[in-house]
Structure 1
Amino acid sequence: MTLSARYTELSRLADLGEEVEAVWTSVSDRAGSYRVLPDGRCDIILRFDAKQRPIVEMAVVVTGPTTRFYDVPIEPGMGFVGIRLRPGCFETVLGFEPAELTNANLIGPDALAACPDLKSLCLPARDQNELVERLTGFLRRRAADSRLKPAPLSRGVISAIHASGGRLRISDVADMHAISERTVQRVVFKATGLAPKTFAAILRFHRALRLLRDHRLSPASAALEAGFSDQAHMSRVFRRMGGFSPARLPDVTLVSLGD
């Protein structure tokens, strides 16, 4: 696996609203593949040829929540502009629940069929900046017009799981919000398309990755701090979700995850 794309989050667009976690761009600098790690999120992406001026051909991609890695083949000059949606906001923006896309993506005509308003994103554009403006404008309009707003309970439950790095038990989350475990299951599944234990496992995976890469902890220490039962448990999760070992981390993108 080769990381051959420059991923950049646009911090100036971080405050678009509660629906948006990040606006990002990526342009490949050579042929290869780009490994996408599960993060419990869904993205709306415009894929285009960054060498074109103006940009006249592009495809819309809507990514669903995933439980394991997948590799995207890329070519030199292949560009992407994307918006990462916060958990609970997918339905607000696109009109259907993320569970309909678990471990799947909608690409091109399939994305347009699922949400016809996405067609407005595919008009010719001067450059990448115009695509960013178009995508953020689309999100603002859809969020403002939507009647499917995330419930306060959903945001509270998701935030609690995030704050613990995925280490809280479902029973603890239920007790914190004076609700049943079944309600936690329902709320998290509706917001993310994933079972709570799966969503929490993804957060532990990302926390362990950052402890290893950014804080230089040993695998044994990272496993303990991230909430795994032991290093062997962490290694199994890394192989399943990332396709690599904690002892030999490849050059993969770690996206910013809010609460």
Structure 2
Amino acid sequence: MDYRETPPPPSLDGFVAAIWTLDVGGAPGDSVEHQAVPDGCIELIRRHTGRSLWRSEQPSLFVTGLALRPAALRFSGDARFTGIRLWPWGWHALGGDRCADFADDWRAVAEDSPLAALLTDDGAQLPGLIAAFSGHAQSPIDAIRHVDSVGALALGSGLAPRRLQRIFARETGMAPRSYLRLLRFREAVAGVQSDAPGLADTAAASGYADQAHMTREFRALGGLSPGTARRRAAGPFVPAPDEPPPDG
């Protein structure tokens, strides 16, 4: 599996988390199982070739909602994808459906939708994305990506706790603390795949009380251990192992 991720330019910061490609790299007759773990984002995805299934057969253009638990995926070996990873408020700025209405699920996107034009077959996503978000103000809750507590978000944004609760309910369908938990897990997943010296250091850098706390969250949100993510994950995708790996 060849997974590649490109960070957005500064003009898209606060709307787009990443642009990514995935090439399963097998034969058309192969059936490859993967697991995708939560990352606090909405995924607008075009499948260029092959087949993909998550609970049911997916069309060539679809969007996945906020994941609250791992998703069991199946791809044909020749499947190839391009995806745009959007912050929930970025998704809503594009006129997308309410996040609360399709958490842990996916929806088809019509080919004549303005969203379809953002995922072209030639891979030139940036001009269309920049144009789509031109003139949109950043959400006041985007600062949650840079704080370690809801209290810090309230202080930095100047918004009262009840106001924050209402905005998060509208933008994510969950409480600020619950969404912050997803972001902490997202940071930890990236950390264990990096060159960080040890899992204890990653736990501390991600805001967990200790390594044991991080391990519990990995199992609760990702269905795997940090050690498994370190060995097997590519971005948010984890190949299904032939046999259970040792814990880590």
Match of 1:6 in 2: 2
Equivalent in 6, 19, 22 of residue 23 of structure 1? 19
Deviations 1:138-163 (A, max 9, x none): 6456546xx9x45x4x34x322x222
Task: Name 2:123's counterpart in structure 1.
Answer: 132
Runs of 4+ aligned structure 1 residues displaced above 6 Å come to none
Please state whether the residue corresponding to 2:163 is helix, strand or coil: helix
Q: Which residue of 2 aligns with 1:100?
A: 101
Aligned partners of 2:197 and 2:41: how far apart in 1?
A: 26
5+ residue gaps in structure 1? Answer: 51-57, 122-127
The answer for the alignment partner of 1:42 in structure 2 is: 42
Count residues in correspondence.
Answer: 222
What is the Cα deviation at residue 69 of structure 1? 1.4
User: For residues 239-258 of structure 1, what are the structure 2 equivalents within 5 Å?
Assistant: 239-249=219-229, 250-254=231-235
**d(CA) in 1 for partners of 2:131 and 2:74?**
32
CA contact (8 A) 1:81 1:131 kept: no
142 and 222 in structure 1: CA distance in 2 versus 1, 3 angstrom threshold: closer
CA distance in 2, matches of 1:139, 1:236: 37
Match in the other structure for 1:83: 84
> What letter matches 1:195 in structure 2?
A
Aligned-partner SS, 1:209: helix
Question: How far apart in 1 are the matches of 2:3 and 2:93?
Answer: 26
Q: Map 1:132-211; keep pairs closer than 5 Å.
A: 132-133=123-124, 139=129, 142-143=132-133, 149-150=136-137, 152=138, 154-155=139-140, 157-159=141-143, 161-164=144-147, 167-168=148-149, 170-211=150-191
Contact 2:48 2:121 in 1 (8 A): no
Match of 2:177, SS state, is helix
**Shift in Å, 1:59:** 1.5
Q: Does the Cα contact within 8 Å between 1:188 and 1:194 map onto a contact in 2?
A: yes
User: Partner letter of residue 77 of structure 1?
Assistant: D
- Measure how far apart 1:131 and its partner are: 4.4
- TM-score normalised to the size of structure 1? 0.71
Mapped pair 1:235 → 2:200: no
Measured at CA, do residues 253 and 14 of structure 1 come closer, stay the same or move farther in structure 2, by a change above 3 Å? farther
Instruction: Write 1 or 2 for the structure with the bigger share of helix.
Output: 1
8 Å CA contact retained: 1:188, 1:196: yes
Secondary structure of 1:132 counterpart: coil
TM-score norm. by structure 2 comes to 0.74
1:119 Cα deviation after fit: 8.5
Higher alpha-carbon deviation: 246-255 or 85-94: 246-255
Q: Distance in 2 between matches of 1:181 and 1:7?
A: 39
Distance 1:45 1:120 in 2: 9
2:185 partner amino acid: F
Give 1:196 deviation, angstroms: 1.4
1:54 is aligned to none
C-alpha contact (below 8 Å) 2:67/2:103 kept by paired residues: yes
Q: Which residue matches 1:71?
A: 72
Q: CA RMSD in A?
A: 3.1
